[in-house]
Each structure stands twice: as structure tokens, then as C-alpha cells.
């Protein structure tokens, strides 16, 4: 099954590489959320491949116009994919972009494939990891964190602060950058030991993040929710913590008595 997901993405990944650096037709779905003609064409191509490989299985793509993934995720078996993760980077000629696909059954990811702009990051199923396809492993050499941490309300006027629910978070820098603008690139940084953790408070889209879960877990990392529990994908937008180990992940947990506003 993971190989089928991988095959469904290969041709479109090559199409994206051929069109990288060219002038694109660009629309803005919402402020700061861009989509290009390559996104839309890639969505069509990947959907066609997946429909042929998984007949009868519901399929949801990031750029679908009619078959939209609901906020409350469906039960049973379904497939999700992101044709270009990091569209803002892609359209500006920044190579920090990627694509991914995953298979979900009752809230659990059972297979996934992730590709960066440079090629395959990993192909994983719950009971199988093809080590020939990825040499990346979570490293212990990281000295920086790309994530968000709770800070004092007095620091609310500091730059790069965001408010989520009742908590303030400060975006930490990595090598002078405010992240990579691409979930796949952030996870590759985690796998290579460039960062300790990656979270996206309040805006973690299952279509961006679910495929990354198995890749990180099979590489020896930890993927949990904001309370330290195993991730169960029931809602489209959830808080997910990707970390080198549980001790690091615990630095970003919400208090046990936390109540959403």
C-alpha cells in the first residue's frame, strides 16, 4: 500500500520539478494562503492516480474544489494528500517545498509517503518501513528549536508572538529564519537533527501533517497532541507536536487543567 501511494506521487513530483522556477498563475485563497496553477494541476494528476490505485476509497486533496474535507473527519478508510506543501516557497523559487499522501483508518494513519523538493523522504506503513527509501533518522545533535513555547503575558509585545486560545507563544528562530514555510521541510530539519521540535499551534491541518506522523515515529521521534497523548485524527485542524523525544515534546504541553476559552 505505501508503494502505491509513492507511485501515485512520482510523476506529479517530476512535473512540479520541471515547472519550478517558472512564472505561475497565482490566486490567494485567503490572506497569505496562495495557490498556483501548478498546485491545481498537481491536485488533478495525483487524484487521478490515487483513484485508479484505490478504487472506491474516499480521497481528499488540499486543492479540491468540490470534494472538500470536512472539519470533523470521516470514520472508516480514506486517503488524503497535499499536492504542494510550501506553495509560497515554490512560487518564489525557494526549494523548501514538498508533497505527501497518507491513508487513514478510523483516525489512525496506516501508511504514508513524503517527498521533499529533492526527492523521497520516506515511505512507511504501520508494520513496514522500507529503509532503502530513506536514510534519514532523528539525530541527537540539534541545538535549536523551531516551534512555539508558552511565554509570559508581559512579553506579548515582543516580535514574532502569536496568541492561541489563552496562551501566548513566541516563535523561536532557527539559523536566523522564522521556520521554512513548509511542514515537509520542517520535518526534514527534525530528522536531520537541525531542530528539536516542530509544532503549529492552532492550525495543524491533517492534510499537511498526517503523512509526516509515521515518518517521524518510524525514525525514532515522537508525535503527540498538546496533552502528550497519542494523536487520534478526529478533526481536520489539531495541535500536533513533533519532537526528537518525549522529554522535549513535554515542554510544549498544555496544563492538565487547561480549558479552552
Give dist(CA 72, CA 210) in Å, integer. 15
Average pLDDT along the chain: 78
Instruction: Identify whether residues 12 and 115 lie together within a single domain.
Output: yes
> Is the pLDDT score of 83 beyond 90?
yes
Domain boundary among 106, 133, 160: 133
Is residue 167 a contact partner of residue 150, using CB atoms and an 8 Å limit?
A: yes
Give dist(CA 242, CA 233) in Å, integer. 15
Mean pLDDT of the 37-45 span: 96
> Is the pLDDT score of 173 beyond 60?
no
51 in the Ramachandran plot: left (φ > 0), alpha (ψ -120 to 50) or beta?
alpha
- CATH code (residue 239): 3.40.190.80
Residue 146 DSSP symbol = -
The predicted structure's pLDDT at residue 17: 95
Cell digits of residue 235: 478533526
Q: What is the sign of the dihedral through the CA atoms of 45, 50, 56 and 62?
A: negative
Q: In which band, very low, low, confident or very high, does the pLDDT at 146 lie, cut at 50, 70 and 90? A: very low
Mean pLDDT of the 152-157 span: 40
Tally of CB atoms within 10 A around 225: 17
The predicted structure's pLDDT at residue 143: 42
Note whether residue 6 is domain-resident. yes
Instruction: Identify whether residues 206 and 152 lie together within a single domain.
Output: yes
Mean pLDDT of the 3-14 span: 91
Domain boundary among 109, 133, 157: 133
Q: In which band, very low, low, confident or very high, does the pLDDT at 155 lie, cut at 50, 70 and 90? A: very low
Instruction: For residue 171, give its domain range.
Output: 148-252
With CA atoms as reference, report the closest residue to 62 among 75, 53, 50, 77.
50
Instruction: Identify whether residues 8 and 120 lie together within a single domain.
Output: yes
> Is the pLDDT score of 216 beyond 60?
yes
Mean pLDDT of the 160-188 span: 55
Note whether residue 66 is domain-resident. yes
Query: How many structural domains does the chain have?
Result: 2
Instruction: Identify whether residues 21 and 109 lie together within a single domain.
Output: yes
- CATH code (residue 16): 3.30.540.10
Give dist(CA 51, CA 164) in Å, integer. 37
Instruction: Identify whether residues 18 and 53 lie together within a single domain.
Output: yes
Note whether residue 41 is domain-resident. yes
With CA atoms as reference, report the closest residue to 248 among 231, 229, 228.
228
Instruction: Identify whether residues 63 and 93 lie together within a single domain.
Output: yes
Q: In which band, very low, low, confident or very high, does the pLDDT at 255 lie, cut at 50, 70 and 90? A: low
Instruction: Identify whether residues 211 and 107 lie together within a single domain.
Output: no
Tally of CB atoms within 10 A around 78: 18
pTM across the whole model: 0.81
In the block, which residue shows the cell 513530483? 13
Amino acid at each position: 500500500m505505501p508503494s502505491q501511494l509513492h507511485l501515485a506521487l512520482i510523476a506529479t513530483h517530476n512535473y512540479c520539478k520541471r515547472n519550478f522556477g517558472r512564472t505561475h498563475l497565482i490566486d490567494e485563497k485567503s490572506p497569505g494562503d496562495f495557490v498556483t496553477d501548478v498546485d491545481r494541476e498537481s491536485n488533478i494528476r495525483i487524484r487521478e492516480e490515487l483513484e485508479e490505485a484505490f478504487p472506491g476509497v474516499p480521497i481528499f486533496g488540499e486543492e479540491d474544489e468540490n470534494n472538500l474535507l470536512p472539519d470533523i473527519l470521516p470514520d472508516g478508510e480514506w486517503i488524503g494528500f497535499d499536492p504542494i506543501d510550501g506553495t509560497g516557497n515554490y512560487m518564489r523559487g525557494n526549494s523548501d517545498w514538498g508533497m505527501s499522501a497518507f491513508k487513514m483508518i478510523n483516525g489512525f494513519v496506516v501508511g504514508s509517503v513524503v517527498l521533499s523538493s529533492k526527492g523521497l523522504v520516506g515511505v512507511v506503513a504501520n508494520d513496514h518501513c522500507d529503509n532503502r527509501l530513506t536514510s534519514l533518522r532523528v539525530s541527537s545533535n540539534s541545538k535549536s528549536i523551531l516551534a512555539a513555547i508558552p511565554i509570559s503575558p508581559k512579553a506579548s509585545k515582543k516580535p514574532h508572538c502569536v496568541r492561541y486560545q489563552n496562551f501566548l507563544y513566541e516563535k523561536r528562530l532557527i539559523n536566523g529564519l522564522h521556520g521554512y514555510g513548509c511542514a515537509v521541510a520542517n520535518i526534514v530539519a527534525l530528522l536531520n537533527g537541525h531542530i528539536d521540535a516542530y509544532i503549529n499551534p492552532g492550525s495543524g491541518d491533517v492534510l499537511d501533517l498526517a503523512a509526516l506522523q509515521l515518518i517521524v515515529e518510524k525514525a525514532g521521534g515522537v508525535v503527540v497532541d498538546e496533552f502528550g497523548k497519542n494523536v487520534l485524527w478526529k478533526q481536520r485542524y489539531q495541535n500536533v507536536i513533533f519532537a526528537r523525544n518525549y522529554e522535549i515534546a513535554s515542554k510544549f504541553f498544555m496544563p492538565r487543567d487547561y480549558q479552552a476559552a
